[in-house]
Structure 1
Amino acid sequence: MKKLIFVLAMLLPMGAIAAGGGAHLDKAEYDLTDKASLQNGAKLYMNYCLGCHQTQYQRYQRTFSDLGIPVELGQEYLQFTGEKPGEHIKNAMPAESAAKWFGAPPPDLTLVARVRGADWIYTYLRAFYVDESRPFGVNNEVFPEVGMPHVLQELQGVPRKTTEQTMVDGEMVERYVGIKADGSGELSAAEYDTAVLDLVNYLVYVGEPSRLESENIGRYVMLFLLVLLVLIYLLKKEYWRDVH
């Protein structure tokens, strides 16, 4: 019992971190077999995230190969500072300057999907809203007092918390209904959600590039073990046949 209590006590802080302080998380229905989604996610990451957030444990060449992107096209459209395909995906932002600008250096995103979870990232990127009291003019429902700007605002538009009037006990009250963009973005609400899902899909891939291969090998291993179990059972019956 003491061991069980200890394990639960260790897991509770991890759950709180993943959930972002108890916020409701929307389900991210990502698909690592969807190459088009992964390619769009890579494009969004390189254009909107890499300026601050590195994925320094992933190489460009591995990304191009896994996502079915020809190296020449990858270099032209996804590499902006002349790196070689074999180099890691880094940016040129000095850590000291980043700490001064944002309060802390922007974290590396190589393992963010494994640490935070896909649902957390998906909800977080759709939870920014205007808050003039913040340094960058925005806040976030999943990560309150966030220290980064809403880098995808040109795609989403200006997001604001919205309310509607509703009747409660014979009295009209304002009821919070969520965050809605003002329509000034390049994408519709549905298109923006899809774009965010593509970005999440890419970050899930980056966190474990060999995941599909590992799962495929795992299926063969399980099949082998099942066959081996049958053979062992038959061998056991044959071995003990004369004893019984």
Structure 2
Amino acid sequence: MSVLPPVRRDRVIAQLPQPFSKDAALHTKDGFHSKVKTACQEHRTGTVGFKISKVIVVGDLAVGKTCLINRFCKDTFDKNYKATIGVDFEMERFEVLGVPFSLQLWDTAGQERFKCIASTYYRGAQAIIVVFDVTDVASLDHTRQWLEDALKENDPTHILLFLVGTKKDLSSPAQYSQIEEDAIKMAEEMKAEYWAVSALSGENVRELFFRVASLTFEANVLAELEKSGSRRVGDIVRISSNSGNLYATPKKSKSSCCK
């Protein structure tokens, strides 16, 4: 019996969600990678459906990290803001191209006194969402430091990055236009994908997390395919195109650490 909860009907993803802005997107292609679609159709996604992928959400105090997560996971908005102490997390189950997929969304404290505690939970992330307030230019400037701290605990080459501006509903068109230009430049420097959302109205919140789930899923499947391309049966049997016996088990090399 599976210990994971069932996938809700409104968490089914059949097509790759499009980015908020083509000017600052991780991928500009219209659909999932052809290898990923084929693997899902042929049920060759390995352990992807059983793993839980970790997403950490970081940013200054009061930029709206908790409200953002609660809007997506619980479809609620609480104007009586309470600062997160340490960390909190939510589990979300998706079905992507017919394959179950789980995200663990880690909501980290923005207060300086909790930063040391929160940073211990950064390790093992597959995606990082750096949040800023579109009505507060200073919070955008601080995103560099948040990202730097988060990347200390992870391999930058294997992380998907998202720069997310919250409270879009509180920004005037002229004010937002200016900060969007600055945010897109920042996203390009970070090699992140830019989004602007409103937890109050729900604008772009579902689309953001569907995009995060889809790109994280795609990265997981591609990594699984790369791994299975040179391994079989949990790395016990290796396939070599230069070997006469395709099912031969390689000899273990002797360690030189004690020589």
Q: Is the TM value for this pair above 0.5? A: no
Higher helix share: 1
Higher strand share: 2
Larger radius of gyration: 1
